[in-house]
A and B are shown apart, each in its own frame.
Chain A
Amino acid sequence: MIWLEYAIFQRAIIGGIIIGLLAGLIGVFVVRMRLSAIGYSMSHSAFAGAALGVAISIDPLLTALVFSAVTALLIGPIADKARLPIDMITSIAFSLNMALAFIFLTLSPQVGLSSEVASVIWGSIVAVTNRDLVYLVILCSVTLALTYLFWKELFAIMFNRRMAEADGINTKPFIYFIIFLIGIVVAFSLKLVGGILVYALLFNPASSALQYLHDMKKIVILSPIIGATSCVTGFFISLIFDIPVGSCIALVSTLIFAFSVILSPKRKKEAKI
């Protein structure tokens, strides 16, 4: 474990823990509000943004953030205004962003799958900087504070959006806010996990946590823990076997999900009934 003495790995572990916590928390909203298609689309829009950053040689995080924020701000209102199903809009945004991402990567001045291009696609342990950690801590604090403040509304929307509306909660701003947050979290996760697999981190921990518990308050605690565990375990597997960290994190989180389904106490109880 001599690696751990290096600042670069310490940063990656701390970054991984924060990203895992954040994605695990946001993932609960994604799964419960049935925003999976949006999460998928947002992760690829951040990917396209990062690819553009690589192509024009500016910070990929910045361009990923811009792409995510713009997509996040457009998806909800376009679906509402055009009266089109949100799935249709997100599917079109997904194909557009993937097309853009690969065009930008082709235009990259670096040759073939250079380390920067590869890190955008697959994620990289060495990509997390001190500045990223500061941003991640700020983002994590803001997300936790907003979740705490608006927990009541989010809790009701996650139960049933229409009933929340019927009870006098204006659900639209909260849905838009969650979509926006998905975009930002995805953009920050991109460096570690990579554009293609970042979605796994949004979806798998929350889906795993839902297999164990009947209490939403406990689920929003367990899901981030699973997210952070996936990141740290994936990080070590990546180091040991020298394979892309994003793939390792996605594999670990998928395995946790598979075990959760098999071990689910909820399912066992249901089977007995």
Chain B
Amino acid sequence: MTPVIKLKDVSTVYEGERRPAIKNINLTLEEGELAYIIGPNAAGKTTLLETINGLLSAFKGKVSVFDLDVRKYGREIRCQIGYVPQDFMVNPGEPYTALDVVLMGRYGKIGIIRRSSREDKEKAIKAMRLLGVEELANRPVGKLSGGQQQKIMIARALAKEPRIFLLDEPFSNLDPESRDKVSTLINQIRRENNITTIIVTHDISQISGSCHRIIVMNGGRIIADDEPDKALSMLKKFLPKEYWWSKP
């Protein structure tokens, strides 16, 4: 197996803060691996994802993705990462259609100056079709429901045809039926394309059966990183029960 994501002694501090949001993180993920990060609010889950993709650059230690240093090659690395941010909501008046937003996922890959081709548009439409939101393509994205917008953001990540998925609470606005469908879809695409995937969740019930490992975070540290059964028993030891499936 090839390591795709490697973090060595990584601590990330937000601007104006003294305490690091994540501390001394050591983590390696192999190609095609599916890992869930679980933990209570302010555990450092989102910070960890944004340190991996280089959106947060004020960190100590070393982060490399595809053996490339995130500090030096952040832009190139992000072109290969399908990122779904937590609770990303678009204002109702925003002048962008759902298709615009999905197509934007491909912009980094298309490269500077070049315009998006018919093939790019077809890939965006295909991603929307897979998520069942194709008919929303020409609707203003801000007018869509929370669940529909979340599917649009997932479609944006899929349209990119990434080598890594970083999904931050990607199912938080979906109803249980949609959640299962989307989770199955992501898993299928991950398996077919050998995509290394990290999914952040608050809710143990959202963890897929195909999960290879669970990373438990609390207070900015990884307190367990193991196969699902072992990690979950550790989670129960460290965290009170109300955290297991509480929503933010």
Contact = CB atoms under 8 A, between A and B. Distances in A.
B12 interface: no
Given A163-B85, A210-B95, A216-B95, A168 B104 contact: no
Interface string A198-217: 00000000000010011110
A266 interface: yes
Nearest to A270: B92
B243 interface: no
Given A156-B104, A166-B78, A83 B15 contact: yes
A266 B112 CA distance: 33
A135 interface: no
A149 interface: yes
Interface in A58-105: 83
A156 B106 CA distance: 11
A167 interface: yes
B14 to A, nearest CB: 11
Specify the main secondary structure of chain A where it touches its partner.
helix
Given A149-B113, A155-B104, A166 B81 contact: yes
Given A153-B107, A266-B93, A165 B78 contact: yes
Interface string A201-244: 00000000010011110010000000000000000000000000
Interface string A147-176: 001111101100110111111111000000
A168 B93 contact: no
A122 B21 CA distance: 51
B79 interface: yes
B107 A164 contact: yes
Contact of B112 (A150, A160, A162): A150
A219 B100 CA distance: 15
Interface string B81-98: 101010010001111110
Contact of B107 (A83, A156, A266): A156
Contacts of B80: 168
Contacts of A152: 107, 110, 114-116
Nearest to A211: B93
A170 B79 CA distance: 11
B189 interface: no
12 contacts: A150-B112, A162-B85, A164-B104, A165-B78, A166-B85, A167-B83, A167-B104, A168-B76, A168-B79, A168-B107, A169-B75, A215-B95
Nearest to B81: A166
Contacts of B106: 167
B176 interface: no
Closest 6 CB pairs of A and B: A168-B108, A168-B79, A168-B78, A167-B108, A166-B83, A216-B95
Nearest to A264: B93
A170 B95 contact: no
B109 interface: yes
A163 B104 contact: yes
Nearest to A269: B143
B104 A162 contact: no
Contacts of B88: 160, 163
Given A150-B113, A163-B85, A214-B140, A170 B75 contact: yes
Contacts of A166: 53, 55, 78, 81, 83, 85
Nearest to A170: B75
Given A166-B85, A215-B97, 10 more contacts: A150-B112, A152-B110, A152-B116, A164-B104, A168-B78, A170-B75, A210-B95, A214-B97, A219-B95, A270-B92
Contacts of B113: 149-150
B174 interface: no
B78 A159 contact: no
Nearest to B114: A152
B104 A159 contact: yes
Contacts of B140: 214
